[in-house]
C-alpha cells in the first residue's frame, strides 16, 4: 500500500513539474516558435521563444529568432 502511494505521488509530482504543451527543452520551444512564425502567429511565437530563453538563457539562437519574429 505504501509503495503504491509513493509511486502515485511521484507520478503526480512529475506531471506537475512538466512544462506546458509537452515542450521539454529549449530546442522544443525554438521549434515551436518557428512553427508559429510560419503560421503568422507572432505573439505566440514570442512566448515560445521566451519559454526557451527561461530554460537556456545563454542560447543566442532564441534571442535571434525572437528578434526576427
User: Is residue 31 in a domain?
Assistant: yes
* DSSP-assigned letter for residue 23: -
For residues 47 and 9, give the distance between their C-alpha atoms in angstroms, rounded to a whole number: 31
Flag whether 3 is in a domain.
no
What are the grid coordinates assigned to 20, written together? Answer: 506546458
Total domain count, the chain: 1
Residues 6 or more apart whose Cβ sits within 8 Å of residue 51:
19, 20, 23, 29
Mean pLDDT of the chain: 82
In a domain, 5, yes or no: no
Please indicate, yes or no, if residue 12 is contained in any of the structural domains: no
Question: Which residue range forms the structural domain that includes residue 39?
Answer: 22-69
Q: Is residue 56 part of a domain?
A: yes
Q: Is residue 15 part of a domain?
A: no
Largest Cα–Cα separation, the chain: 54
Tens of pLDDT, residue by residue over 28-38, are 999 999 999 99
pTM of the model: 0.67
Amino acid at each position: 500500500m505504501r509503495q503504491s502511494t509513493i509511486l502515485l505521488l511521484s507520478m503526480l509530482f512529475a506531471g506537475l513539474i512538466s512544462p506546458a504543451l509537452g515542450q521539454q527543452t529549449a530546442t522544443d520551444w525554438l521549434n515551436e516558435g518557428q512553427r508559429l512564425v510560419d503560421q503568422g502567429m507572432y505573439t505566440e511565437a514570442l512566448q515560445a521563444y521566451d519559454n526557451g530563453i527561461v530554460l537556456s538563457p545563454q542560447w543566442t539562437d532564441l534571442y535571434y529568432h525572437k528578434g526576427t519574429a
